[in-house]
Structure 1
Amino acid sequence: MTVAHLVIVMPAYNEEEGIRGFIDEIREHVSPLVQRVTFAVADDRSTDATVAVLDGIDDVHVHPQSVNRGHGPTALAAYRAGLALEPDLLVHVDGDGQFIGPDFARLILAAESTDADVVHGVRHSRTDAWYRRVLTGAVGLMIAAAAGRRIPDVNTPLRAYRPEALRPLLDALPGHALVPHVHFSLAEARSGLRVRYLSVRSIPRRGASVNGTMWGGGVKGLIPPARLRQFTAAALREAWQLSLKHGAPLRSIRPQHRVVTGDRSA
C-alpha cells in the first residue's frame, strides 16, 4: 500500500547541526512507501543557520515565523503549513531529530495497515533530563483522569494524522497554544478518534550544542530550570482553559469513531 502524498511537518529552532541530515534520513526510509514526500519546516526565528542549510532543497518548504513564539505555536504553524499542501497523510516530528529513520517507515505502515485516524509514536529509551520525564508522567496522569483512560506518552511529538482527523483539532485550538499535543491527545480520546500506539526509539538531540533546546542545559541539569517551572504553570492554566473546564474549546469536538489502540509493539 502506497501513500500518494506524505507531508512531514517540523517546528525548528537553532537546528543547523542536525536538521538536514535528519531530513535526509527520513526521506531515505519513507520514499519506498510513498509516491511523493514533502517537508514543511516552521522556523521559530532561529539565530543560527537553520534556514540557510535547508535552502535549495526541492522537497523542503521553509516557513520562517514572524517572531519567536516557542515550540507550541511553531508546531501549530507547521501543521497548518503542512495541511495547505493537501497531503494524504501528515506526520509531525520536532526538528531536533530525536527519532530514527526506520521508525518513520513503521509509523506510515501502521497508519496504512489499520483504520487509524492517528498513530502516536510512544517513546522508549528517553534521554531527557529526569524532570522532563517526571513532568510528562504527571501530565499523563492528569489527562488520563480527564479522558477516562491512560494515554501512553501524552505529549509525544511523533504523530501521523489523517488530514480529516487533524483539521477539527487545529480549528478548535488557538494558534498561541503552548502544549498542543497534550490538547490533541485528550481531544482524540474524548471524540472517539481511532488511535494506534506504536513503540518508537528516542535518541539524544542531534548536534553537539544545546542552543536548539527550549530550556537550555541539555539533559545534564539536576534542577528544573526556572523557565521550565514557569512554562509548566502556564501550561497547566492553559490545559484548564482550553481542554478541561466546562465549555472549553477542545471539549466541543464530537464523537466520530471508536478507538482502536492496536499493538504498541508493532
Structure 2
Amino acid sequence: MPSTPSTPSDLGPPAVSCILPVYNEEGCLRPLLDELTSVLNELGRPSEIICVDDYSRDGSLDLLTRLHADHDRLRLVRHTRNLGQSAAFATGFQVARGQILVTMDADMQHDPADIPRLLRALTPETDMVCGIRANRRDNWIKRVSSRLANRFRDMVSGDRIADAGCTFRALRRTALPELLVFNGMHRFLPTLLRCRGLTVIELPINHRPRISGVSKYGIGNRLWRGLLDCVAVRWYARRAIPARRWEHVPNLALRRPPHE
C-alpha cells in the first residue's frame, strides 16, 4: 500500500486533477495507482485521481471500487455504455475540480514520474504541455501507422504536432470553455486549442512497454474516421473564434457628462 502522509481533505480542494480513461485495464490498475499516488505525494499540492471507466467488460470497475479504500484521492465515474477515449476525457474534464488537469492512459505505458516535468513546463504563459513518446515502446506496425497518421494530420490541419496520439498532457482548466467535443477529439486537442489562439508546447516523455491487456487502437478502427476528422478540423481551424477575445470595460454609467 502506498504511503499517504496527507490526504486531499487535509490540504484543501485539489489543485491538480489526473484523468485516466479505463477500458479493460484490470491488470494495470493496481500498480499504476500505486505509482501515481507516490508521485502525487511528492508534489506538495492537493490532488485527485479520476478514473473514468468506459463500460469495461473485465473486472476493472470492481477492482477500482476495492482500491478506493487504499487511495483516498481516487474518484470513480462510469459510462453507461462504451463511448470511447475522447468521451472519457470529456467526462473527466467535466467532473474534475482542479485548475490544472493531467491526462494519461491507464495502460502503464505513460510514466507518472514525468508528471512533475509536465507541470514545471506549464508556465503562466502556457495553456497545454503535450508529451512526445521519444523512444516509443510499441510494435513496428503501430509506430509506422502513427508516424504516417501524424504527417497526414499535420498536412491537412495546417498544424504541426509531433505526437498527436500521445494523451499524456497537462493543461489549464481555463483552456476548456467552448471546447469542441467529438469522438476522436483527444487526438486533435492541441490543434483545437491552438486554433483558438492558446499556447501549446511539447515535451519528450518516457514511454514504457505494455505489461497487461491489449491496445484498443489500430489501423482498421481509426484510418477512415481519422481522415474525415482531419478534414473537419481543417474547416474548424478556419472558422474558430479566439478564446481571448474580450476585456472588461470600465462602468461608463458612472461617468456621465455634466448637465448643460
TM-score bracket for the superposition, by shorter chain length: 0.7 to 0.9
Q: Which residue of 2 aligns with 1:90?
A: 101
Q: Give the drift of 1:4.
A: 5.7
The alpha carbon displacement at 1:6 in A equals: 0.6
Alpha-carbon distance in 2 for matches of 1:50, 1:250: 41
Structure 1: give runs of 5+ residues left out of the alignment. Answer: 216-224, 258-266
Percent of aligned pairs with the same amino acid? 24
**Residues 69, 147 of structure 1: CA spacing in aligned structure 2 closer, same or farther, 3 A cutoff?**
closer
Matched, 1:143 2:153: yes
**Match of residue 199 from structure 1:** 204
- Segments of 5+ residues of structure 2 without an aligned counterpart are 1-12, 246-260
**C-alpha separation in 1, matches of 2:216 and 2:46:** 32
Tell me, yes or no, if structure 1 residue 236 matches structure 2 residue 227: yes
Q: Any conservation in 1 of the 2:137–2:209 contact (CA below 8 Å)?
A: yes
Which residue of 2 is the match for residue 214 of structure 1? 216
Partner of 1:116: 126
- CA shift digits 1:211-266 (9 cap, x unpaired): xx214xxxxxxxxx6xx32431122223323x123xx3894242649xxxxxxxxx
Residue equivalent to 1:40: 50
2:114 paired residue number: 103
Give yes or no for the alignment of 1:173 onto 2:178.
no
Give the 3-state SS of the residue equivalent to 2:242 in structure 1.
Answer: coil
Q: Does 1:50 align with 2:44?
A: no
1:21 maps onto 2:23 in alignment: no
Matched residue type, 2:95 = A
Match of residue 253 from structure 2: none
Number of aligned residues: 229
Secondary structure of 1:155's partner? coil
The alpha-carbon deviation at position 197 of structure 1 amounts to 1.4
Give yes or no for contact 2:128–2:190 (8 Å, CA) kept in 1: no
Classify the secondary structure of the residue corresponding to 2:21: strand
Structure-2-length-normalised TM-score: 0.78
RMSD, matched Cα = 2.4
User: What residue number does 1:262 align with?
Assistant: none
CA contact (8 A) 2:156 2:231 kept: no
Against the structure 1 CA distance between its residues 40 and 196, is the aligned structure 2 distance closer, same or farther, given a 3 Å change threshold? Answer: same
- The 3-state SS of whatever aligns with 2:228 is helix
